[in-house]
A and B are shown apart, each in its own frame.
Chain A
C-alpha cells in the first residue's frame, strides 16, 4: 500500500499558487526526499500533508485514505512532522516531559509516564533530561526531543522538514544516524525535505527535484550517486553540491 499519494495537488497561500499539479506516490517503508531551492514549494507540500497549509486542491491520501481539508485526527495519528529549527519548534516554557506528554493527552492515550521514558531512551536521551526546559538543552538534544515528540503517537509516516540544517556537522551525523536507526527499528516511512544532497544520499531511497512549485525530476538515489540525473536543473543542483563530494574524496 502507498503511504502517501498526491494527485494533481495545487497549494495556494492566499491568491498566490505556490505548488502546481504535484503527482507523487510514496510506498510504505520508503524514504523519499524532496530537494530544491528555497521557494521551490518543497516545504509547502509537507505542510499541506500535515494540515498546516489548508488551502489546497487535488487529492492527498495518507495510508490509502483521503485527507480532509480540516483537522484530521487520523492523519495526525499516523503522520507526524519534525521541523527545521529545534530552537523554534519546542515550547520554551514546557519541560521535555510536558512536550512529549501533550500528543498523548490530545489523543487520549494512557500510560504516559512510561511511554515518555521509553521514547527518551529510543532517541538516545538520558532520563535526567526529562524535566528540563528547552533552553537547558543543546541544539542536537533539542532536535532529539523534537523527533521524540513526533514519534510519541507511534506514527507510520514521518515528515522531516530540513531536520539537520540548523545543526553542526558532527551533531548532524548523530541525528542522521538516529533517523536511520529509528526507520530500521520501527519500519517508518520518511518524506524528507532538504537542499543537502549528501544527506539524501545517506538517508533516502528516492528523490524528487522541485523548482518553481513543480516536480522537475524523480530519480532513485542510485542515479544520484552515479551523477546520472537527467534534467539540466537537477544537474545544476548536483554540480552546486557535487563540488563538496569531490573535495572529500580526492
Chain B
C-alpha cells in the first residue's frame, strides 16, 4: 500500500454490467519499474480491468490511483481517454491489434507523438509554414520513432503500410508506437498472442529490457504461461472478477486456489506445472 513504491493502486474496484460483475471489489498494487502480470481464465475480467484503467469504462465503484513522479496522484477513472495517455502517461495495446493500417509504420509512431508536435506547431499554423521550431520538433519526433524502430528491429519496415505487415511484426509495431508516447506505465493486452516461439522469446527479452533499462512499469495480460512465468516480477490471478491469488511466479504456481481455478477441483496440479515448465 506504500504509494512511493507503487505506480498504480487499484482500490476496491467494481465494474458491473447490469447484473453481471465483471470486476468485483478488486484491489491491486502495481509496483514501479516492475512487470506485473494479470492472469486468469477467460472472462475473469482482465480486459475489463484494462478498460477501467484507460478511460474506456467508468468503474461502478472504486478508484484507480496513478502515482505520477512529476504530476502527483492522478485518478485515472476521472480522466478522459486522451488525458490518460497525455497527462498520466499510461498507454495500452489491444488483444486484437489496432494500428492505423493505411498509414506507414513511421507515421503510426509519429501520430503517437502528436501532442509534442502540436505544441511546437501552435496548432498547425507553424506547421503549415514549416517554421524552424516546428521542424525541430518534427526532427525530434522522427528521431524518437527511428530509435524505437531500430531497437525493435523494425527499421526496414518504416515506410510500409502497417496493415500490410505480418501479425507478429504488427504486434511489435504496436508496442513501438506505445513507447513513443513516453509511457510510465505500459499496459499490454496479450502481447504474445499469435507469436511463434522465437518471436515470443524476443518479446520476453524486450519486456525485461524495458522494465530494467527504461524503468517503465509494465502491466501485462497474458495467457502464454511461458511468457508470464519468465518475465513477471509479480502476478495477480483473477477469477470471476475477483482476485484469488497474488505473489511471485513460484508462489502462484503452487497456490491451490489458482490450480483449482485453472484446472477444476481434481488434484491436477501436475498439469499446471507441466504447462508452466519452460
A and B together in one complex? no
List chain A positions with a Cβ less than 8 A from chain B: none
List chain B positions with a Cβ less than 8 A from chain A: none
